[in-house]
Amino acid sequence: MFAKILIANRGEIACRVIRSARRMGVRSIAVYSDADAHALHVEMADEAVHIGASPANESYLRGDKIIAAALATGAEAIHPGYGFLSENPDFVDQVVAAGLIFIGPSAASIRAMGLKDAAKRLMEKAGVPVVPGYHGEAQEIVLLASKAREIGYPVLIKARAGGGGKGMRRVEHPDDFSEALSGARREAKAAFGDDRVLVEKYVDKPRHIEVQVFGDNFGNAVHLHERDCSAQRRHQKVIEEAPAPGMTPALRKAMTEAAVKAAKAIHYSGAGTIEFIVDASQGLKADRFWFMEMNTRLQVEHPVTEMVTGIDLVEWQLRVAAGEKLPKTQSEIALSGHAFEARIYAEDAARGFLPATGTLHHLKFPQPAPEGATMRVETGVRAGDAISPFYDPMIAKLVIHGKDRRAALTALGAALSQTEIAGSTVNTAFLAALAADADFAAGDVDTGLIARHQQALTAVPPPSGETIAAAALAASGARDLPSSDDPWSSLAGYAHFHAVARSTLLKFGEQEIGARVSVRPDGRFEVALDAPYDSVNSRDLRAAPRLARWPGHVTVFDGAIGYGFAVPDPLARADEAAAASVSLRAPMPGLVKLVRAGKGESVIKGQPLLILEAMKMEHTIAAPHDGVIAEIAAEGAQVTDGTVLVRFVEEPQLTAVSLSTK
């Protein structure tokens, strides 16, 4: 076994690899960018090496710097994690040429599966079923459009390199093909450096079911059963589970055999995932699944497989890379219970899952696990850490295991309702709503479920009077909150107020709410709220409110929802009003990818003005009202959150940015 390995990654997956390495007695070396100088993975590792500036292409994508760090620290092998260089065959070649071991498959295996079109041709030869479509080399728009007509609409345009939903467009009608192709190519080029695409038939009720495979360097290959990753938004996974709901013995046998056949066809070594698209329109049938792609690395969702098999996949990766045979045979790998993984992201589900940034002023996960369940939290952040605009905004993965699907799902909902995150917009309420969705709970899930139910899943009720009252009490001089069942009991007789009410102003979104807090004769507080809210006596609060406070802000948690209130500084309000302007501002840091309007041009409400690329996704910024453009950002401009993108000549009818995500 290795004495020391370097982890060429960051965040959650780096922390995950470090834990297994430490348990095995293997020392770990972290690498970090400027933005990650104080990150959790750096703190956890035995050693850490700075490799460059914050942008990934200046640090985590610099294979030369990573290899140099490994050689300088005496590492014997490099673990790539997922993303970044994990599926880059040129990097694997460089690692091997430097005399190091790559903890993963060979460069040849990665190349065989790295391009979707070539991989599908290879799978066809190996006898693995593939989705009907065009997987050829020619990329002329006339040919691609012709192939789309032959396949039959709707079709799916997909980047032939990479994954994660980037460079992917569903096209319903021939008239929309050209624009969709252009968008897919731009996004693919930005994400993978390759704008070539393939065109496939869009399956009406698709299930995304994948099989975890593992091979060694002695010709052995096994599967560790399947995972269902059908719960997706914008082609990105949200909640994954194992085993797949409704799975039949016949389909499992056919699918796992095909997956092992695919792995053996490329002499695969290490952890890999064979992804299949399954037509669930008539139930799960053994002849209605097709190969989609292979991920030649560890998957984000690998913990659900670990939970139902009891196998540490990272340990297996290290053992196989060190020259050992697979630790178990196929007959020794059994399923036990059911597991879910919910990806907690810094994102605004109500605004089309727009990525968010911010500082995690409060971060608390449930302890212990919900009754009857086993839980693990995979994270790479701590309270006080910032969500960087440079990398994926995932905060944590909440992983739950129960005796069966119902028990595990109940525990997942309970765990999400007890999770507290403040300082950034997060998707916990959306995840809890999805876990409680009737179709999802019944296992009737496909990749379109979230889109169909999106309005209901992302709707958040306004805060109740009790919630607002709790925020007002916390904002009005309550000092440190005690931990007793009644957090306001210690404030009885608090002399600061006496009989005079203290006024407090709260801001919830754009809504300002006035509150006056006074002490009642019984020592409790009364909170008089502006209409339409009723006054609330602290005795009337149903339970001790869960709160987080930091300067200028209060968050009150109600189940999985965190209601964030700003507490405006009255002296600063006049300055804020004076700074208001007739403009559209960037909702997040990003790159102005494409400008569709010019200075002096008249535009109408809803007209696309420019495309902002943020966190590797494209977002269309549209006009919120009719008007004339006075100024507009230049193509290629790097902007920060709040930067003016468009300034209008005429007075606006609305002030909000209209966003639609491609």
Residues designated as active site: 297
* CA gap 60, 389 in Å, rounded: 15
Written as one string, the DSSP assignment of 352-411 is TSEE--EE-SEEE--SSPPTT-EEEEEES--TT-EE-TTS--EEEEEEEEESSHHHHHHH
Segment holding 142, helix H or strand E:
helix 141-151
* CA gap 652, 305 in Å, rounded: 53
C-alpha distance across the termini of the chain, in Å: 46
What is the dihedral sign for C-alpha 590, 591, 594, 595?
positive
Written as one string, the DSSP assignment of 420-453 is EEESS--SHHHHHHHHH-HHHHTT---TTHHHHT
* CA gap 322, 86 in Å, rounded: 18
539 DSSP assignment? G
H helices then E strands: how many in the chain?
18, 39
* CA gap 24, 18 in Å, rounded: 10
For the chain, what is the largest distance between any 2 Cα atoms, rounded to a whole number of angstroms? 84
In terms of residues, how long is the chain?
662
Written as one string, the DSSP assignment of 583-600 is EEE-SSSEEEEEE---TT
Query: Which tokens hold the place of 473?
Result: 């009490």
Q: Kindly give, in sequence order, each residue whose CB lies less than 8 Å from that of residue 40, ignoring residues fewer than 6 positions away.
A: 11, 15, 379, 380, 381, 382, 385
CA distances (Å), 85 to each of 39, 104, 512, in order?
20, 11, 47
Query: Which tokens hold the place of 573?
Result: 């309000």
Q: In 118-216, where do the E strands start and end?
A: 133-134, 155-159, 168-171, 197-201, 206-215
Q: Are 260 and 213 in contact (CB under 8 A)?
A: yes
Helix ranges restricted to H, 499-633 = 570-579
Sheet holding 197-201, edge to edge: 133-134, 197-201, 155-159, 168-171
Cβ atoms within 10 A of the Cβ of 460, count?
A: 15
Angle, helices 116-126/107-114, rounded to nearest 10 degrees: 100
Query: Which tokens hold the place of 402?
Result: 């129960």
Q: Which residues pair with 379 in a beta bridge?
A: 396
The torsion angles phi and psi of 365, rounded to 5 degrees, stand at: -105, 155
* CA gap 329, 83 in Å, rounded: 29
